[in-house]
Amino acid sequence: MSRAYEILGPILRALPEVSKPARRLSIRERLVWTALVLITYLAMSQIPLYGIPWRETQYQTFFFLQVIMASRRGTLMELGIGPIVTAGIIWELLVGSKIIEIDLTTKEGRRLFAGVQKILAIVFAGVEAAAYILGGAYGTLSLTSQVVVFAQLMVASFIVLLMDEMLQKGWGLGSGVSLFIAVGVAQQIFWELFSPLGPMADGLFYGLVPSIAYALYTGISEGNWTLAQRVVWRRGYPDVVGLIATIAFILMLAYFESMRIDIPVAASRYGGARARIPLKFLYVSNLPVILVSALYADIHIFAQALWPRLNPDNSNPWLNYIMMYNRTAEGQLVPMKGSLVYYITPPRRIWGAMEDPVHFAVYASLFLIFSILFAAAWVITSGMDPESQAEQLVKAQLHIPGFRRSTKILASILRRHVWPLTILSGIIVGLIAVAGDLLGVLGSGIGILLMIGILIQYQALLAREQALEMYPMLAKLIGE
């Protein structure tokens, strides 16, 4: 590891880095910095890329890609947090699975881990930016325009990287990745509720609230309740069924997040004092959905970048298994039936599932399988597996009353709970994401799952920070 640090040292020192604050900031100060980061992100989400046709609709991004990447089409936030998420997934899996050995208990190891992850994020930003440009995301651009757009995307990605690092270093709360995802989903939900855009093809507005108001007005004033019936179940637009499903999913997720399985332990160093270690029912939270969505997003990005050059007429039988597209009159690429990109694209609500049941069955099956696999992989690589947890308990001089103080015994007891919870949580979050898209929840099934999970994490974080601020000795005790 020291050899690797010597080689990469000059590169790591050349990278801009956000230093930790000289003192522990108060909650109010951290909230101010968090708000400034959020305002910067929102501003970048509204600034269009210079040098591209603003009305160019070719290479339309799928909404679920925008959710997981916290991106905004045609703006400085085109790539969003995609490079950070992709780099983090690959790097943490490589280190967690011991393919690459790094001692994270040392300061040098932690600096090497963070530095390499930052380098990978920059590399992925360059690769994804090039994929968008060369894949025709912005139409045909001159060489000068390509360079200008590439530079804008790289600078914007680097700013996002520094903002995420800034929050995690103690200037703000949480992480930029979580914050941007939650805000992006909240924006979409607000738009689907209150957008005045319209009237649409069905005679209603895009937003649900204006549609309900207009439907009631026409029903009361004209005695025509056709629109009122239509707003309950719409095709392609927010409706009452989706709103009810959204509320139900929020309540269900909040309930699942509050469920715990308590493991009784005793502390030898404190005379056998009893305590409980809570294991969350959703043991891996929403991480499987993030990982599956990030995998799907990368496949879509590179497939759409390579298709115009390698298989533009869908004539290659081997590439057709991976990517087949139909280009619409507006230039939008639509996945064609029979290719991988088609089956990893969410069906458009229940209408899409009814029109092509095979598509829905394959999509749902793959999503659930990957969700379970990623849940298990994350538990193993992040140190949440029974063996790692047992080692930590033994080091902390904790044991389960009635059993010998042995790592193997502790691991065997934890194994009864950890692996069933891991598989079950992977299935549940996968089902919620799939069912949410099917029922048309506001912000998409994946989006609502991520947003609720992130908000609950922020609630716990704020409670923790308030406790540490009220009791300074507690902060010193835990080394904060």
Q: Is 274 exposed, middle or buried (0-12, 13-18, 19+ CB in 10 A)?
A: exposed
Residue 326 DSSP symbol: E
What pLDDT does 310 receive? 84
Phi, psi of 283 (to 5 degrees): -60, -35
Does the pLDDT value for residue 137 go beyond 60? yes
Per-residue confidence at 260, pLDDT binned at 50, 70, 90? Answer: confident
Residue from 102, 107, 118 nearest 168 by CA: 118
Tokens found for residue 257 = 């997040």
Q: What does each C-alpha distance from 183 to 34, 35, 291 come to in angstroms?
A: 12, 12, 19
- Please say if the pLDDT value at position 8 is more than 80: no
Of how many residues is the chain composed? 480
* pLDDT greater than 90 at residue 356: no
Instruction: Give 399-424 pLDDT, tens digit per residue.
Output: 677 666 777 878 888 888 889 999 99
Work out the mean pLDDT of the chain and round it to a whole number.
81
Q: In a 10 Å sphere around its CB, with 0-12 CB exposed, 13-18 middle and 19+ buried, how is residue 50 labelled?
A: exposed
Q: Give the whole-number percent of the chain exceeding pLDDT 70.
A: 88
pLDDT bracket for residue 66 (50, 70, 90):
low
Q: Which helix (H) or strand (E) covers residue 230, if one does?
A: helix 226-232
- CB–CB of 49/141 below 8 Å? no
Residue 342: CB atoms within 10 Å: 18
Assess contact for 463 and 469: CB atoms under 8 A: no
Q: What is the pLDDT of residue 468?
A: 72
CA distance linking residue 457 with residue 56, whole number of Å: 38
Distance between CA atoms of residues 365 and 76, nearest Å: 35
Closest CA to 436 of 370, 363, 352, 349: 349
Cross-strand partners of 264: 276
Domains plus CATH for the chain? 25-198 (1.10.3370.10), 237-480 (1.10.3370.10)
pLDDT of residue 156: 93
Dist. CA 179–CA 164, nearest whole Å: 9
Question: Coil, helix or strand for 31?
Answer: helix
Distance (Å, whole) CA 396 – CA 390: 10
Residue 149 · residue 14 · CB < 8 Å = no
Predicted TM-score (pTM) of this structure: 0.79
pLDDT number for residue 169: 87
For residue 151, what are the CA distances in angstroms to 124, 143, 147, 158? 14, 12, 6, 11
> Of 318 and 103, which is predicted with more confidence?
318
User: CA-to-CA distance for 448 and 64, rounded, in angstroms?
Assistant: 11
Q: What is the DSSP letter of 75?
A: B
Residue 61 confidence (pLDDT): 45
